[in-house]
């Protein structure tokens, strides 16, 4: 990864840098380099749809990156990982991907093999970057909803 930027991505990179994010240029575009201040929680399929509705209903929505794929795939940017060890463990146990500790998250405009990452909720549209515990609560609620639906169908 490079930290100097080509002219094609320099403007977007500067916008992210002004937000205090560490970004780098890759062959596919720019990516957020996760750290103890900002990370990403990746959810897919029905869980992603439920999490998005839950966050919106509770006024907890933050920046969301949509990754093109056959199944719905979203990365919610979050803060507060330092103090949320149990929430992170619960997310991983639920099969959610936690991008942290220097992992790269593609930021729009990034080109991926299946298409281009885009903002589902852009940083300037979000009132904040929520703590990871908010996403953990949404994933937990999604799991409970799925369990309830299974019991009803049985």
The per-residue pLDDT for range 74-109, each reduced to its tens digit, is 999 999 999 999 999 999 999 999 999 999 999 987
Closest by CA to 72, choosing from 44, 111, 97, 53, is 44
DSSP 2: B
Query: Tens digit of pLDDT for each residue in 115-154?
Result: 678 999 999 999 999 999 999 999 999 888 654 433 333 3
Q: Percent of the chain, pLDDT > 90?
A: 64
pLDDT range class, residue 66, cuts 50, 70, 90: very high
d(CA 77, CA 135): 9
pLDDT of residue 28: 76
d(CA 142, CA 54): 8
Strand 29-33 with 23-26, pairing: antiparallel
Contact 110, 25 (CB under 8 A): no
- Select the more confidently predicted residue: 45 or 11: 45
Phi-psi region of 101 (alpha: psi -120 to 50; beta: other; left: phi over 0): left
Range picked from 15-24, 28-37, 129-138 for highest mean pLDDT: 129-138
Supply the pTM of this predicted model.
0.86
pLDDT of residue 147: 45
pLDDT of residue 153: 36
Q: Where are the alpha helices (DSSP H) in 19-131?
A: 45-57, 85-93
pLDDT of residue 8: 57
Mean pLDDT over residues 24-37, rounded? Answer: 88
CB atoms within 10 A of CB 35: 14
Strand 115-121 with 64-66, pairing: antiparallel
| CB-based contacts of 86-91 (< 8 A; 24+ apart in sequence) | 87/132, 87/133, 87/136, 88/132, 88/136, 90/136, 90/139, 90/140, 91/41, 91/132, 91/135, 91/136, 91/139
Angle between helices 85-93 and 132-153 (to 10 degrees): 30
- What is the total residue count of the chain? 154
């Amino acid at each position: 990864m490079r930290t100097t930027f080509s002219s094609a991505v320099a403007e977007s990179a500067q916008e992210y840098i002004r937000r205090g994010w560490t970004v780098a240029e890759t062959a596919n575009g720019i990516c957020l380099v996760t750290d103890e201040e900002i990370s990403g929680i990746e959810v897919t399929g029905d869980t992603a749809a439920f999490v998005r509705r839950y966050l919106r209903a509770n006024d907890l929505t933050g920046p969301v990156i949509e990754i093109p794929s056959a199944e719905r795939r979203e990365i919610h940017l979050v803060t507060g990982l330092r103090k949320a060890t149990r929430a992170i463990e619960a997310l991983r146990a639920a099969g959610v991907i936690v991008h942290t500790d220097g992992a790269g998250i593609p930021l729009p405009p990034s080109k991926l093999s299946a298409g281009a990452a885009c903002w589902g909720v852009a940083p300037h549209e979000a009132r904040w970057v929520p703590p990871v515990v908010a996403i953990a609560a949404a994933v937990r609620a999604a799991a409970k909803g799925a369990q309830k639906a299974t019991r009803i169908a049985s």
